[in-house]
Structures are given as C-alpha cells and as structure tokens.
C-alpha cells in the first residue's frame, strides 16, 4: 500500500494554538521527508476541536487525505468534513482500537487520558510515535 495513515491525538482546549500549530507543522514536515512518495492521510477523532482541528486543516492545505474515527457522541459536536468517517461504539474510547488499527504513525500533542492511553497502546503495538507536550 502506498499510503501513510497518520493518527493525531491531543488537547481539546486551553492550550497555546500557535505552539500546537508549530508542533503539527514540524511533525508533518518530518513525515513528509521520511515518506515522500506515500500518500498521507490524517486520521483523528472527527470533531472540529483542538489539536484535531489544527491537524485536519493543515492536512487539507497539503492536499492530504482526512479520516475521522469516533464514537457516536461525536455527533453532538461540530465535525470536520473528512474524506472518510468511521463511527465505532457509543462512548468515548470505544473507537480507540479501530483508530489504532487504521494508523501506522501516531502524533500526540498535549492531550488527556484517552490520548495517553492511545499513545501507550500505539507504542506497545510497535508503531512510530511522535510526542509533544504543550506549555
């Protein structure tokens, strides 16, 4: 398969957006250099909030694909118009296994409990993980 699916998790609110944007740009640039011939798809939690919103917008600027994987509760929020959507389960976290099954690389920028759980599981599965903590 000639595509690279890049998962993005992180903070929802109360963070420095400029710092987060810089971290996203740095991670995306690094992955683009590592895999220049692969089609990139950004996979995140569907809602148009926080780190996810920044990642989806940057992916769109780069003409990368977008995919949203979330539980049905995501419908309670504004969602980003992704290219592909998967709804899995009814509670936050129900989608984590499906999310991890659909990525090769994980980027974590800040985040809460679910972001840290998914990052630990990605590492346990041997996936490439890029992490950044927000001030």
pLDDT in the model for residue 8: 98
How confident is the prediction along the chain (135 residues), in pLDDT tens digits per residue? 699 999 999 999 899 999 999 999 999 999 999 999 999 999 999 999 999 999 999 999 999 999 999 999 999 999 999 999 999 999 999 999 999 999 999 999 999 999 999 999 999 999 999 999 997
CA 33 to chain CA centroid, nearest Å: 19
- Spatial strand order in the sheet of 105-109: 84-87, 65-70, 39-44, 3-10, 105-109, 128-132
- What predicted TM-score, i.e. pTM, was given to this entire model? 0.95
* Structure token pair of residue 90: 């009814």
pLDDT in the model for residue 25: 98
Rounded Cα distance, 110 and 9, in Å: 8
Q: What are the structural domain ranges in the chain?
A: 3-132
| Fold (topology level) of 3-132 | Rossmann fold (3.40.50)
Q: Which residues contact 40 (CB under 8 A, 6 or more apart)?
A: 3, 4, 6, 28, 31, 32, 59, 62, 64, 65
- The 3-state DSSP class for residue 40 equals strand
């Amino acid at each position: 398969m000639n595509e690279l699916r890049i998962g993005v998790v992180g903070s929802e609110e109360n963070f420095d957006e400029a710092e987060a944007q810089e971290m996203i740009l740095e991670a995306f640039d690094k992955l683009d250099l590592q895999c220049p011939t692969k089609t990139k798809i950004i996979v995140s939690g569907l809602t148009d909030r926080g780190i996810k919103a920044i990642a989806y917008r940057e992916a769109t600027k780069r003409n990368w694909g977008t995919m949203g994987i979330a539980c049905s509760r995501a419908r309670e929020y504004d969602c980003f118009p992704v290219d592909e959507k998967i709804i899995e389960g009814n509670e936050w976290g129900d989608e984590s296994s499906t999310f991890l099954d659909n990525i090769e690389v994980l980027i974590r920028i800040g985040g809460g409990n679910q972001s840290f759980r998914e990052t630990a599981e990605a590492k346990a599965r041997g996936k490439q993980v890029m992490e950044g903590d927000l001030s």
